[in-house]
Amino acid sequence: MRTDTKPLPLVETACPTTEGELAEVVRRARAEGTPVYPIGGGTALDYGGIPTRPGVGLSLAGLNRVLDYAADDMTITVEPGLTLAELRDTLAPRGQRLPIDVAEPDRMTIGGIAAMNRAGPRRYGCGTMRDYALGLRAVDGEGTAFSAGGQVPKRTAGYHLSRLLVGSLGTLGIITRLTLRIRPRPETSAVAIAEVESFEAAESLLTSLPKSRVAPTALELLAGPVANQWAALGPMRPGGVARMFVGLEGTDDEVAWMVETLRLQWREFPIAASTVISGTGAGPTGDWLLALPADVAIHVLPRDTVKLMGRLFAALPQVSLQADVGNGEIRLHLADRRPEAFARAVRDVLRPTIEPFGGRMVVLHPGDECAALLSPRDLWGPPPAGHAVMRAIKDRFDPQGILNPGRSIFANR
Amino acid sequence: MALPPLISRLRLSVGTKNVLHAPSEVAVYADDPARIGRRRPDAVVFPESPRQVAEIVRACCEYGVHVMARGAGTALPGGCVALGGGVVVVLTRMNRILEVDLPNRMAVVEAGVSAAQLARRLAETGYEYAPDPYGHGASTLGGEVATSAVGRHALRHGLGAATAVGLEVVLADGSIVQLGPVEDPTSFDLLGVLAGSDGTLGIVTKAWLRLTAEPKDPRVLRAVFDSLESAATAVGRIVAAGLMPVVMELIDQGLLAAVENAFECGFPPDAAAILLIEIQGPPVGLDAQQERIGALCREMGAREVLPTASDEVREMLWKCRKQALGTVGRLSPNCLIHDGAVPWSRLSELFRRIAQIGARHGIRIVHLAHAADGGIHPILLFDRRDPRQAGRAAAASREILEACIACGGGMTAGYGVGIEKAALMPRLRGPEDMEAMRNVRGAFDPVGWLSAGKRIASAENRS
């Protein structure tokens, strides 16, 4: 239930322009025991539920500079409020990129993307923010600023603290600076799309892929209404159940070879139809593969992805599914948007269905009414392995529990 | 220290034959490859299951004795030596490959499995475990995860920390936790922080390792340079051009001489430096990559840039490279292997500074660099029997660290931090950074039983 209004219970909003100012905001809040809610692009303020404790909004919009761009060394150091679109504009003239796909690059900020460890279809070939964050600075729940990681790709001595902060949802520290590893932009891209009439057919297609020596950048399987979404493709044929999107990047010659190799290989398979779309505008470098506004993200082992998709597809009418089948991530959009139906689907269908697969699941945008019907366990799942250590880490970095309360498994909303 | 009761307790857990206690028995575990530390543990234990590891940890905690995990003992900077006694837990008996799960691109291994063992098992499957670091053959995979050993493929496939998708760990309180292999967006990245933690946060007993497709037509180029600095500049140019070789190994003349002497690889003895470059990708793209790299090397004065002729030659080249460090013994009785990293654009400058440092202290320095990830290993040669030489080598080593920092890099830990570097940590990290790391360590191990003094020189263990 995505909401466009700011759901946070804020008594005031601060907009610091330096790390020092940001630390001061946190120190003051800590002294009063007031929650601090970091705000990047404002696209995930209801992630996992809406916080209830009134607090201070901490906008990162004032910390949005590019601090150092060492193009020859393939690194860039930025402040967290810089949007991904602004970063792309900085890197493109040098033929470089940060290969992280997001749905709203004009709004989503580097800090927010890092805090959520966001990644899109190119994750399969290129990795996540944890692979690209070489080092960072952050302010902890006591208002103390510290550094983690370094400036060079090889790990510098010390713990991988930057990996701990990335994906910690702003609950251990608020990132004030990030040094990112960047990559060269590929010369060209293409997407090969295969339409299948069953999940078993999708499965056999996937199993065959490694034999082809094609190394895709993205490997997505879409089923349900979302699979019919693109005008350029038209709807699936009658009997079509899912579409596999294989994203390919490289030099012109490499991509041409990969497209041809797949075309030949797919002749052996029960594919109802196949298409290739070429060119940088429409491939994985475009954002249309992220069109699914996901309600829920599910993680299982890669090998179980298609089977689970089949079960979810059968259990939920008109559900839309988009999976990174190489990494075992399924994103899902429910058809029935009524809060009670939504809550029922989460609690009575999704949780039990993923459980035999050892799946982990987060409800991304539950919305007010729906969240009220769900427990933290419904929203975040049972306590994960190692949660005692995570609790201990949280207590040390944020003893007062003021950083983004409610935004994690320690749901003290 | 209440030793005998602890020894009895350990014997109960793992069996009498799996506990070494007599001074003569434990002496060999007082040493490490670089011969940094010479501290004898109080006991050495060989568990065969995670449950036994957990019992050992609990028993040691009860008796107030420190615990340290050890694999094959290949970690160079004193990583495998117990500071101030304690119990060393050797994981090498836990050496079963539990599962090769190709549909999930994973190998599930006990911590004591060696990289060579896994490589043999994966042969013919079309998959490999990409990190493949230079302890290859001897080092255990648990140890490699603990030291975040990277080796080849770092530039393309990512660093060692990214390749364990699951870990089974025994924590300081004796609990056994399995993290992964299903990814968990609700969790902090404990996997990421455990990798490279040198055994200070937990003892890895099992790992789910990410496998990658084996390159079908890898190609190795050999470029011969007349100066180390021009080879280093070529590395910088290759990276800046957006080319991404999976490996770039740089060997200088001093080390080359020893390698040639030992293995007769056919390296030209008058080369000042050799760059070995491995490229991967669809066959149609390799020629273009080779051409561009060749052109960049020649621009920097490379006298020849040749692809290797056959698989055997390629394998031999890599064998020489992997065993290069072992040949250092031909050059001097002792050595100090430094571990640093700088941005590629500063590599040449760093080599220049190191040459000056070596000259100033009268210490001969040879070089091995894993240039694809910007990592360098200056090797300082000396004779320990001459204390002045040893002192000059130590002083030169400290200056080399300063030079790395001056060049925008720092000290790395591809071989683990260990004792040698722990004392230097505050030079790289401010007090708040150290505090943050102590917070992480404290969350895992509040009292400090595991690998005391290894990664962060805590107050009570500085020695």
Residue B122 has pLDDT above 60, yes or no: yes
Cα of A282 to nearest chain B Cα, Å:
23
If you average pLDDT over residues A236-257, what whole number do you get? 92
Alpha carbon distances (Å) from A290 to A91, A100, A233, B27: 22, 12, 16, 60
Instruction: Provide the pLDDT for residue B188.
Output: 94
**Reported confidence tier of residue A370, pLDDT bands at 50, 70, 90:** confident
Instruction: Provide the pLDDT for residue B60.
Output: 92
Beta-bridge mates of residue A136:
A148, A178
Contact between chains at A151 and B428 (C-beta distance less than 8 A): no
Contact between chains at A161 and B436 (C-beta distance less than 8 A): yes
Residue B348 has pLDDT above 60, yes or no: yes
Instruction: Provide the pLDDT for residue B156.
Output: 54
Q: What is the mean pLDDT of chain A?
A: 89
Higher pLDDT, A347 or B26: A347
Q: Which residue of A has its CA nearest to B148?
A: A155
Contacts of B216 in chain A (CB under 8 A): 213
Burial of A395 (0-12, 13-18, 19+ CB in 10 A): middle
Output phi, psi for A405, to 5 deg: -60, 145
Q: Which region among A100-109, A277-286, B159-168 has the lowest average model confidence (pLDDT)? A: A277-286
Instruction: Provide the pLDDT for residue B12.
Output: 93
Cα of B34 to nearest chain A Cα, Å:
18
**Closest CB from A258, A299, A392 relative to B183:** A299
If you average pLDDT over residues B74-102, what whole number do you get? 79
Instruction: Provide the pLDDT for residue A143.
Output: 97
Q: Which residue of A has its CA nearest to B153?
A: A154
Residue B326 has pLDDT above 80, yes or no: no
Contacts of B133 in chain A (CB under 8 A): none
**Reported confidence tier of residue B411, pLDDT bands at 50, 70, 90:** confident
Instruction: Provide the pLDDT for residue A153.
Output: 63
Task: Give me the residues of B, 358-377, that contact A with CB < 8 A.
Answer: 370, 373-375
Number of A:B CB contacts under 8 A?
251
For chain B, what's the residue count? 463
Express each pLDDT in B232-288 by its tens digit: 999 999 999 989 888 888 999 999 888 888 877 788 888 999 998 988 888 888 899
Cα of A341 to nearest chain B Cα, Å:
24
Contacts of B432 in chain A (CB under 8 A): 144-147
Contact between chains at B343 and A75 (C-beta distance less than 8 A): yes
Strand order in the sheet with A66-70: A66-70, A75-78, A174-181, A133-139, A145-149
Residue B222: CB partners within 8 Å, gap ≥ 6?
B274, B275, B276, B277, B304, B305, B306, B307, B308, B317
Instruction: Provide the pLDDT for residue B426.
Output: 66
Closest CA to B174 of B64, B91, B51, B71: B51
Mapping DSSP onto H, E and C, the string for chain B reads CCHHHHHHHHHHHHCHHHEECCHHHHHHHHCCCCCCCCCCCCEEECCCCHHHHHHHHHHHHHCCCCEEEECCCCCCCCCCCCCCCCEEEECCCCCCEEEEEHHHCEEEEECCCEHHHHHHHHCCCCEECCCCCCCCCCCEHHHHHHHCCCCCCHHHHCCHHHHEEEEEEECCCCCEEEECCCCCCCCCCHHHHHCCCCCCCCEEEEEEEECEECCCCCEEEEEEECCHHHHHHHHHHHHHCCCCCCEEEEEEHHHHHHHHHHHCCCCCCCCCEEEEEEECCCHHHHHHHHHHHHHHHHHCCCCEEEECCCHHHHHHHHHHHHCCHHHHHHCCCEEEECCEECCHHHHHHHHHHHHHHHHHHCCEEEEEEEHHHCEEEEEEEECCCCHHHHHHHHHHHHHHHHHHHHCCCEEECCCCCHHHHHCCHHHHCCHHHHHHHHHHHHHHCCCCCECCCCCCCCHHHCC
Closest CA to A374 of A305, A293, A295: A295
Q: Which region among A3-17, B142-156, B211-225 has the lowest average model confidence (pLDDT)? A: B142-156
